[in-house]
Amino acid sequence: MVGRVIDPAPTPTGETPLALTRRARRMYRLLAERYPDAHCELDFRTPFELLVATILSAQTTDVRVNSVTPQLFRRYPDAHALAGADRTDVETIIASTGFFRAKTESLLRLGATLVEEYDGQVPSRMADLVKLPGVGRKTANVVLGNAFGVPGITVDTHFGRLVRRFGWTSLEDPVKVEHEVGELIPRKEWTQLSHVLIFHGRRTCHAKKPACGACPVARLCPAYGTGETDPDKAAALVKDGPPR
């Protein structure tokens, strides 16, 4: 009996999986050339500081987080100090980041859990990180990739918006996006891919008015024309840094 040939699953743009993979990798290379200095824009010195800063970054900007963490880390430099922190004091320090009561609750519980279960150290495995208070896969991937050198894809709002515009995926669920995009780009590049796309989303491929005419991957992007296509007008929309 002759087996039936099964067609590969359709891609969002109707390309073959091979064509999509080649296009995605070409786009990534071009964007990496545009942003050779792409990096995590949260200030940190230790895995603990990065973990705390990433939790604080929910629903606010990295710039805002970086404005409050110096004082927070002077007062509470490690998990042991955070576990015994004064709730009102923490709330006062981080108030400008928004949702400060919920974030304070997560931080106090985080400190206690790290002390009780991990001797005050931040674990370096995804399975352990996602069990910590206030930590999901996005936060875990930030910490793994930037503090421990373990490749991970960070699906924040910028990353998700761009990969859907690029036609790399049509999915909305961050975990499914992470896995689908991970099939297109070599694992060793996942962390830097996240930085590069987040840089591009903050600087050029904006949510409301992308600068299509100033985009290095315009000719490869199925969403070209969503924003300003005139080169001079588009260049004026490009930002030098993250939103403040």
- CATH code of the domain in which 231 resides: 1.10.1670.10
Domain shared by 61 and 106, yes or no:
yes
Task: Please give the pLDDT value at position 9.
Answer: 63
Q: How far is CA 196 from CA 25, 38, 82, 149, 178, in A?
A: 13, 5, 32, 16, 15
- Is 6 inside any structural domain? no
Mean of per-residue pLDDT scores for the chain: 94
HSE, side-chain direction, 13 A CA sphere, residue 45: 6
Same domain, yes or no, for 139 and 92?
yes
Looking at the structure, tell me whether residues 74 and 141 fall in a common domain. Answer: yes
Contact 147, 46 (CB under 8 A): yes
Q: Assess whether 163 and 233 both reside in one domain.
A: yes
Query: For residue 111, is it within any domain?
Result: yes
138 is catalytic: yes
Sign of CA dihedral 190, 193, 199, 201: negative
Domain boundary among 98, 120, 147: 147
Are residues 32 and 82 part of one domain?
no
What interhelical angle do 62-75 and 87-94 show, nearest 10?
A: 150
Containing structural domain, residue 186:
17-38+153-237
Q: What is the pLDDT of residues 86-114, one digit of tens each?
A: 999 999 999 999 999 999 999 999 999 99
240 labelled catalytic: no
pLDDT in tens, 26-72: 999 999 999 999 999 999 999 999 999 999 999 999 999 999 999 99
Q: Of 106, 169, 161, 101, give the one whose Cα is nearest residue 133.
A: 106
Rounded CA separation 204/223 (Å):
13
For residue 85, what is the domain's CATH number? Answer: 1.10.340.30
Structurally, the chain folds into a number of domains equal to 2
Q: Cα–Cα distance between 141 and 149 in angstroms, integer? A: 10
Residue 3 has pLDDT above 90, yes or no: no
> One of 128, 138, 232, 240 is an active-site residue; which one?
138
Query: Per the confidence metrics, is the pTM higher than 0.85?
Result: yes
Same domain assignment for residues 143 and 53: yes
Exactly one of 43, 78, 128, 156 is catalytic; which is it? Answer: 156
